[in-house]
């Protein structure tokens, strides 16, 4: 409970090598004996098999396995209707889309939800919402926080590198998001939850101190992304994790002929926004240099024209959401930044 309000945080947290192979014992300790699995459609057997074996060895049955073919409300509704009686937990395993579907299935069924992400591409695996399309249009739907978060560092390190860089970009966004939140306080008196802001900000700096793609780096990134999800639950909004940089990414999703991964768009937008905000651009740029984020972006440069259009569209997407983009027409400044900033050289065409 915080200030008289109940908040939900994961009770079961395991972030370690080989964690998927111990899922059965984790479930058994927490009183689960009949679980439903919701997985990505392309989940390799070498990831899913240890989960199934571990559950079986602990005497836990799997009466239902659902494969998520699309990150949509309709897909979540279909799987919810198909759930047999007697299920006592929903386990989601796979990428972000499958986890959002699994989270919402558990929310509809009022069952505990365990998140098993197979990559660290964003903070969605431990957030109080689910990003799902409704009749083809993406929406952020309220859902329950995971009861459990189980992260197998070996699995996440084996995921494609581009997903790692996406997670780095999404994590860095917390710095500009918190600053936008404070700008909203000064401009409009929007209340800032200091604990949520501090929790979000501090997690980034932990990873900045060691942004390497190895076991310890993966533990730091996973922990930071998880705690950012908890920061959103603490304050009841996305403010600690999402600001103008996310609005730009959402605009790109609408405008771009070929949108990039969420975290890549968000990361580049974070660096540009930090310059507009006149703060932390040096630290963000250095994080992206040391982690290899800039190199990943340069391998598939973004379109300058689309970005300028996105910067103009972004502040209209959420009219009641004040950010640095609400204070003025930032497109001319962004155009100069893209054209002249050394760190962005090769990131745009």
Q: What is the DSSP string of 213-234?
A: SSHHHHHHHHHHHHHHHHHHHH
Question: Regarding beta strands 137-142 and 129-134, do their DSSP bridges make them parallel or antiparallel, or are they unpaired?
Answer: antiparallel
| Nearest of 235, 341, 229 to residue 294 by alpha carbon | 341
CA distance 304 to 316: 20
pLDDT at residue number 3: 53
Q: Please list, in sequence order, all residues whose beta carbon lies within 8 angstroms of the beta carbon of residue 341, skipping any fewer than 6 positions away.
A: 275
Strands of the 34-40 sheet, one edge to the other: 12-16, 148-152, 113-117, 89-94, 34-40, 61-68
| Nearest of 13, 19, 64 to residue 38 by alpha carbon | 64
Q: Please list, in sequence order, all residues whose beta carbon lies within 8 angstroms of the beta carbon of residue 333, skipping any fewer than 6 positions away.
A: 275, 276
The neighbour count for residue 34, using CB atoms within 10 Å, is: 16
- Per-residue pLDDT for the chain (349 aa), expressed as one digit of tens each? 455 556 889 999 999 999 999 999 999 999 999 999 999 988 999 999 999 999 999 999 999 999 998 899 999 999 999 999 999 999 999 998 899 999 999 999 999 999 999 999 999 899 988 989 998 888 889 898 999 999 999 999 999 999 999 999 999 999 999 999 999 999 999 999 999 999 988 888 889 999 999 999 999 999 999 999 999 999 999 999 999 999 999 999 999 999 999 999 999 999 999 999 998 999 999 999 999 999 999 999 999 999 999 999 999 999 899 999 999 999 999 999 999 999 999 999 9
* H-only helix segments in the chain: 23-29, 45-57, 73-82, 96-109, 153-158, 161-188, 194-208, 215-235, 244-255, 262-276, 281-291, 293-298, 304-317, 331-340
Highest CATH level, class, for 161-344: mainly alpha
Contact 278, 180 (CB under 8 A): no
| Nearest of 286, 298, 300, 291 to residue 346 by alpha carbon | 298
As a whole number of Å, the CA-based R_g of the chain is 20
Q: If DSSP codes are grouped into helix, strand and coil, which group holds residue 166? A: helix
Largest pairwise CA distance in the chain: 62
- Tell me the whole-structure pTM to 2 decimals: 0.93
Highest CATH level, class, for 12-158: alpha beta
- Domain spans in the chain, listed from the N-terminal domain onward: 12-158, 161-344
Contact 240, 197 (CB under 8 A): yes
Contact 152, 116 (CB under 8 A): yes
Exposure of 86 by Cβ count < 10 A (0-12 exposed, 13-18 middle, 19+ buried)?
A: exposed
Contact 168, 267 (CB under 8 A): yes
């Amino acid at each position: 409970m915080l200030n008289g309000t109940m908040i939900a945080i994961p009770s079961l947290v395991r972030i370690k090598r080989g964690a998927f192979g111990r899922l059965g014992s984790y479930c058994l300790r927490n009183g689960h004996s009949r679980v439903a699995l919701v997985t990505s459609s392309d989940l390799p057997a070498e990831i899913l098999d240890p989960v199934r074996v571990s559950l079986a060895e602990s005497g836990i049955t799997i009466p239902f396995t659902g494969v998520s073919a699309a990150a949509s409300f309709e897909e979540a509704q279909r799987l919810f209707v198909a759930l047999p009686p007697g299920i006592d937990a929903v386990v989601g395993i796979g990428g972000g889309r499958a986890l959002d579907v699994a989270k919402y299935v558990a929310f509809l069924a009022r069952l505990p939800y365990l998140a098993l992400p197979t990559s660290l591409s964003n903070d969605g695996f431990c957030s109080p919402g689910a990003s799902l399309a409704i009749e083809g249009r993406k929406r952020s739907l309220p859902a329950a926080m995971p009861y459990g978060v189980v992260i197998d560092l070996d699995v996440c390190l084996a995921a494609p590198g581009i997903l790692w860089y996406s997670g780095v970009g999404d994590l860095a966004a917390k710095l500009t998001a918190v600053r936008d939140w404070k700008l909203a306080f000064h401009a409009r008196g929007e209340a800032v939850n200091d604990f949520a802001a501090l929790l979000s900000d501090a997690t980034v700096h932990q990873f900045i101190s060691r942004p390497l793609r190895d076991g310890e780096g993966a533990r730091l990134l996973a922990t930071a992304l998880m705690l950012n999800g908890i920061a959103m639950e603490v304050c009841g909004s996305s403010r600690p994790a999402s600001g103008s940089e996310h609005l730009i990414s959402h605009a790109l999703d609408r405008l771009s002929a070929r949108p990039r991964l969420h975290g890549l768009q968000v990361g580049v937008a974070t660096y540009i926004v930090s310059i507009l905000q006149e703060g932390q651009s040096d630290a963000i740029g250095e994080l992206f240099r040391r982690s290899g984020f800039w190199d990943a972006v340069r391998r598939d440069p973004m379109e300058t024209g689309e970005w300028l259009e996105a910067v103009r569209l972004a502040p209209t997407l959420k009219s009641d959401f004040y950010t640095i983009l609400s204070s003025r027409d930032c497109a001319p400044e962004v155009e100069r930044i893209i054209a002249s900033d050394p760190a962005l050289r090769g990131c745009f065409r």
